[in-house]
């Protein structure tokens, strides 16, 4: 029998007198060890956890809090797997539980220091329902082009089916409407190229704002600083060179508070 190589921290507790469990691990190009799993809280709810160790097994104090990142949003989250990008960002697929036990696929991305990536998803995560009842993401892989593949199971009302979902890892945040500031309306939408769109129902606090037109991969196509008054609609002319497709209108105020809306160009 081969001997175990000693590590500085052969076991880790998240600080509670309950159950901690690990399911996924990956070794980065620098030799650091990333581990995913869950931690049971005093009220017996589950939180997903992401841990980072150095090559000797010591938790990295520069990652999260003492080497541990805890994801706690609902009653039950478990990180069954994880993967790391070449730039050190980590993806953690989880299963958030919304009573009464309607689970969904959830994908979160973390920066190399363990902070949630503010550019990813809506509220720093992407949630997708495969079928109305129970979905569970259990594995993840990255394609060569950076797209994330999540695999798991989904309950069809009678039995579980294999579920596979692919995510445009740098686009879901743009393709989901972000309504942090009321419910602005863009019209017409869909719209023909070389036409003017009107943005109405802007909330208070957007008298000075920046409007951006983005492609679905986040590239800026056009931008304009706009001054208006409350209750007045805003007009924006699309560039004449736009091809048909899906775009994103992003508007933020002076406090970086804003919203995004999909814009479909038909011709």
Average pLDDT over residues 169-188: 61
Q: How far apart are CA 34 and CA 127, in angstroms?
A: 23
Percentage, residues of the chain above pLDDT 70: 80
Question: How confident is residue 71, by pLDDT bands cut at 50, 70 and 90?
Answer: confident
C-alpha distances out from residue 253 to 119, 150, 210, 220, 259, Å: 17, 35, 6, 17, 10
Q: Delimit the domains of the chain by residue range.
A: 20-169, 177-265
Higher pLDDT, 212 or 246: 212
Structurally, at CATH architecture level, domain 177-265 sits in Sandwich (2.60)
Average pLDDT over residues 184-196: 84
Question: What pLDDT is attached to residue 180?
Answer: 47
C-alpha distances out from residue 172 to 95, 141, 214, 216, Å: 18, 17, 13, 8
Question: What pLDDT is attached to residue 167?
Answer: 79
Question: What pLDDT is attached to residue 34?
Answer: 92
Given a contact cutoff of 8 angstroms between Cβ atoms, the answer to whether 35 and 14 are in contact is no
Higher pLDDT, 74 or 70: 70
Tokens standing for residue 173: 């945040």
Given a contact cutoff of 8 angstroms between Cβ atoms, the answer to whether 149 and 166 are in contact is yes
Higher pLDDT, 102 or 48: 48
Task: Kindly report whether the global pTM for this prediction surpasses the value 0.85.
Answer: no
Nearest CA to 153 among 175, 130, 171?
A: 130
């Amino acid at each position: 029998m081969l001997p175990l190589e000693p590590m500085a921290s052969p076991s880790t507790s998240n600080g509670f007198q309950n159950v901690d469990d690990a399911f996924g691990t990956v070794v980065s190009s620098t030799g650091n060890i990333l581990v995913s799993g869950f931690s049971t809280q005093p009220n017996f709810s589950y939180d997903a956890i992401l841990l980072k160790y150095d090559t000797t097994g010591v938790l990295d104090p520069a990652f999260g809090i003492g080497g541990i990142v805890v994801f706690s949003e609902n009653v039950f989250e478990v990180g069954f797997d994880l993967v790391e990008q070449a730039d050190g960002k980590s993806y953690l697929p989880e299963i958030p539980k919304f009573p009464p036990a309607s689970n969904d696929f959830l994908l979160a991305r973390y920066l190399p220091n363990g902070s949630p990536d503010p550019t990813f998803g809506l509220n720093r995560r992407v949630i997708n329902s495969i079928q109305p009842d129970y979905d569970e993401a259990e594995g993840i892989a990255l394609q060569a082009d950076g797209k994330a593949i999540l695999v798991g199971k989904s309950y069809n009302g009678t039995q579980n089916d294999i579920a596979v979902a692919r995510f445009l890892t740098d686009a879901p945040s743009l393709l989901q409407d972000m309504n942090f500031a009321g419910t602005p309306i863009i019209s017409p939408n869909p719209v023909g190229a070389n036409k003017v769109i009107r943005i109405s129902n802007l909330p208070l606090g957007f008298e000075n704002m920046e409007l951006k037109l983005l492609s679905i991969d986040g590239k800026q196509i056009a931008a304009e600083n706009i001054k208006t008054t409350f209750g007045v609609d805003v007009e924006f002319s699309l560039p004449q060179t736009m091809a048909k497709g899906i775009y994103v209108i992003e508007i933020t105020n002076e406090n970086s508070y804003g919203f995004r809306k999909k814009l479909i160009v038909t011709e």
